[in-house]
Amino acid sequence: MKIVAAAKILKANDQLAAETRAKLDAVGVFGVNLVGSPGAGKTTLLEALLAHWKGERWHAHACRGHATSMAPPRPAVIEGDIAGSIDAERIEKHGVPVVQINTQGACHLDASMVAAALADLDLGACDLLFIENVGNLVCTAGFDLGERLRILVLSTSEGDDKAAKYPAIFQSSQALFVTKTDLLPQTNFDLQRITADFRRLVPQGAIFPMAAIRGEGIPAAANWLAEKCRR
Amino acid sequence: MKIVAAAKILKANDQLAAETRAKLDAVGVFGVNLVGSPGAGKTTLLEALLAHWKGERWHAHACRGHATSMAPPRPAVIEGDIAGSIDAERIEKHGVPVVQINTQGACHLDASMVAAALADLDLGACDLLFIENVGNLVCTAGFDLGERLRILVLSTSEGDDKAAKYPAIFQSSQALFVTKTDLLPQTNFDLQRITADFRRLVPQGAIFPMAAIRGEGIPAAANWLAEKCRR
């Protein structure tokens, strides 16, 4: 009985997610589901990307803005957290439309939460929608939110054994953003090991190492994302 | 209907956990539930504690062994992971009894898993049982495993905003072990902020900062644990 119910919930989620994907496609909005552990650096990554596209100063660094001939994407953000609005407030400072979802205890976003949040966004005014999931390397894996791209954010300080220990989330992601590479000298994280592990699970997956706090690696990731959302 | 089922599951879990606690009390085993994000450093903390109590060399450091007049505790470990036995293999190298639970997708341990694992341990040969939970700052909060003490392991690299974002797990823990203090100079982590946040939620809570990889802060935490399990 329990298993049947769980399958039903997942089916309803998948159906809703497919509808969201079709809706976003119809208005030319590229959805990105950002997943990762608590503290992996998902919000800092977003802040660095937003600063890059706006050519803003980011920490001590003056961002050079969009390096290609294309106009930068117009981003919007949905923030998923159990409680509070810390992350949404950080995003808001960058002048980008943001909606905070409070899951009130739930350990992941689902398609119905995202569908509800979409009602509060002007989809005509954006073409790249980031959905920052609850910090969780387990429960977020099974829930399609209607995105076109799932990015797994993994920080070097978490260790390089995570693909072996949390295979589902790696397997369901199309890109791996390895954050906090500025901490590499202080950790025993092996970039080659995680690259090999991810490639084994997702042969076509993209990998971007970065130190978002310093803006390092951000231009490459930003350009790749901008091209993705233009296809 | 769904809510009733979930409540029933939790009630069954609490009942089983109470039985486990009584069973451990009866044989003089002090149970510790270690919770924290993936990569917070739970296994490294255990390795450092085990090395300390055995007076083993730990990384570049010769552990000085147990600093008080008491004999060190006799530890055993239950490792909870979604897949694999990476952590159990690390513990086994320290010559300590260890049982690996594979949750096969489940995002937290529950009392029934722990009760089953206990059958594979010689409880007469240990007096301190560590249960390392699945890396998860959300789902582990609601499940009593039959422990006497819940320790939340939080690494400085995760950021100091976690008590505000994941209140349930902080509120349900009696101790906060702040790991990776060797990374403090490289992060914007504010030890005073997390201390204040934790004290607000758990006024009697114990806080131990440490850099387990260097053995720093380990003697204080090891002595505190040894005294706890002797009461």
Q: How many beta-carbon pairs under 8 angstroms link A with B?
A: 112
A3, pLDDT greater than 70: no
Residues of A in contact with B6 (CB under 8 A): none
Q: Which of residues 113-142 of A touch B (CB under 8 A)?
A: 134-139
- What single-letter DSSP state applies at residue A163? H
Distance from CA of B140 to the nearest CA of A (A): 10
Architecture of domain B11-230: 3-Layer(aba) Sandwich (3.40)
Beta bridge partners, B62, equal: B57
Predicted confidence (pLDDT) per residue in B89-135, tens digit: 999 999 999 999 999 889 999 999 999 999 999 999 999 999 999 99
Three-class DSSP category at A83: coil
Say which range, A58-62, A168-172, B197-201, B215-219, has the weakest mean pLDDT: A58-62
Q: Where are the alpha helices (DSSP H) in chain B?
A: 2-26, 42-54, 86-92, 111-118, 162-165, 167-171, 191-201, 218-228
Q: pLDDT class for A69, splitting at 50, 70, 90?
A: low
The answer to whether the beta carbons of residues A84 and A72 sit under 8 Å apart is no
pLDDT of A175 reads 98
State whether residue A37 is helix, strand or coil. coil
Tens digits of residue pLDDT in B37-48:
999 999 999 999
Instruction: For residue A225, give every residue at least 6 positions away whose Cβ sits within 8 Å of its Cβ, in sequence order, or none.
Output: A32, A49, A73, A128
Report the gap between the CA of A27 and the closest CA in chain B (Å). 33
Residues of A in contact with B134 (CB under 8 A): 138
- Per the CB < 8 Å rule, is B165 touching A37? no
Please judge whether B39 and A82 are an interchain contact, meaning their C-beta atoms are less than 8 angstroms apart.
Answer: no
Has residue A43 got a pLDDT over 80? yes
Cα-flanking dihedrals φ and ψ of residue B127, to 5°? -135, 0
Global ipTM: 0.90
Percent composition of chain B: helix, strand, coil (DSSP 3-state, to 5): 45, 20, 35
Cα–Cα distance between A181 and A167 in angstroms, integer? 22
Lowest mean pLDDT among A177-191, A197-211, B6-20, B35-49: B6-20
Residue B58 is predicted with a pLDDT of 79
Phi, psi of A159 (to 5 degrees): 100, 155
C-alpha distances (whole Å) from B63 to each of A77, B54, B88, B214 are 48, 8, 22, 10
Is the pLDDT score of B66 beyond 80?
no
| A183: nearest CB among B2, B159, B183 | B183
Q: Do A180 and B157 touch (CB under 8 A)?
A: yes
User: pLDDT digits over A74-129, tens only?
Assistant: 999 999 999 899 999 999 999 999 999 999 889 999 999 999 999 999 999 999 99
Are A84 and B157 inside 8 Å of each other by CB? no
Q: Is B65 on the interface with A (CB under 8 A)?
A: no
Q: How many CB atoms lie within 10 A of CB B95?
A: 10
Q: What is the pLDDT of residue A4?
A: 47
A27, amino acid identity: V
Categorize the per-residue pLDDT at B1 as very low, low, confident or very high, splitting at 50, 70 and 90. Answer: very low
pLDDT of residue B2: 39
What pLDDT is attached to residue B141? 96
Q: How much is the pLDDT for B4?
A: 47
**pLDDT computed for residue A1 by the predictor:** 40
Compute how many other C-beta atoms are within 10 angstroms of the C-beta atom of residue A83. Answer: 14
Q: How far is A190 from chain B (nearest CA, A)?
A: 14
- Whole-number average pLDDT of chain A: 92
C-alpha–C-alpha distance, residues A191 and A184, integer Å: 9
pLDDT at A169 over 50: yes
Collect all residues of chain A within an 8 Å Cβ-Cβ radius of residue B194: none
Inter-chain touch A167–B83, beta carbons under 8 Å = yes
**Inter-chain touch B137–A38, beta carbons under 8 Å:** yes
- Residue numbers in A near B162 (CB within 8 A): 38-39
User: What is the pLDDT of chain B when averaged over all its residues?
Assistant: 92
Q: Which residue has the higher pLDDT, B64 or A201?
A: A201
**Is-contact A77 A166, C-beta < 8 A?**
no
Closest CA–CA distance from residue B27 to any residue of chain A (Å): 33
Radius of gyration for chain B, computed over Cα atoms and rounded to the nearest angstrom: 17
Residue B209 pLDDT more than 60?
yes
* CA–CA distance, A118 with B66 (Å, rounded to integer): 57
Do residues A79 and B163 make contact, with C-beta atoms less than 8 angstroms apart? Answer: no
Q: What is the pLDDT of residues B5-38, one digit of tens each?
A: 556 777 899 999 999 999 999 999 999 999 999 9
For residue B26, give how far its alpha carbon lies from the nearest alpha carbon of chain A (Å). Answer: 34
DSSP string, A91-121: HHTTT--EEEEE-TT-SS--HHHHHHHHTTS
